[in-house]
Copies of this chain bind each other. A is one copy, B any other.
Amino acid sequence: MCNNVMVQIESARSRSLNDTRKRILDVAVEVLGQNPDAGMGDVAAAAGVVRRTVYGHFPTRSDLIRSLTQQAVNEVAAVLDEVNASDRAAETVWVDFIARLWPLAHRYRVLLALRRGEYGEEIHALLGPVDKTLADLVQKGQDSEVFGRHLPAQVLSQIAYAAVFAIADNNLSGENLSARAAAITSLLILGVPEARARALVDTQP
């Protein structure tokens, strides 16, 4: 019974706690996205705290990476599931997906950066469901003849959405402009004719 009080107290401390924790996570996404080999010290410095504090929230570098990846995957998966819930045509779903993915793409390029090197396996595992859902969507598009068959759905989906991340990455100027461009390019990759691609993108803001 006394324990309940303890628990309440513990959850009461959580304001400032979650605050710094969240800031560390945010800045870690940024730092590790730019340099996957950045250490705990770099993250701490960028977050404006001392290295020791980071270890207070994440006992291990692995834990930080894990939490980081988990959050990124969760957000992407949420977008994908939400968009994929309807029974619209694969084309339409894809356009919608890219449109909502775009704001996250540049931020979460850390996912692409971390897929190689040391934590690749783990990230691949976390990313598994997303990859599968995406592959299924592309497969569905291929079955209904709206997407091309020049590559198997599994790899085609990878290339198509990797391209979106790549475009977001090489994007130093107009954000709004490139959002359209990214969507159109990904549709081209999927084998959608340019005219049709433009029509799809423009009729769904």
Contacts and interface: CB of A to CB of B under 8 A. Distances in A.
Interface of A: 34-37, 113, 116-118, 148, 150-151, 155, 158-159, 162-163, 166-167, 170-171, 178, 181, 184-185, 188-189, 191, 193-194
A148 B194 contact: yes
Given A158-B166, A158-B170, A181 B36 contact: no
Contacts of A189: 163, 185, 188-189
A116 B36 contact: yes
A177 B191 CA distance: 17
Contact of A35 (B117, B171, B181): B117
A37 B194 CA distance: 40
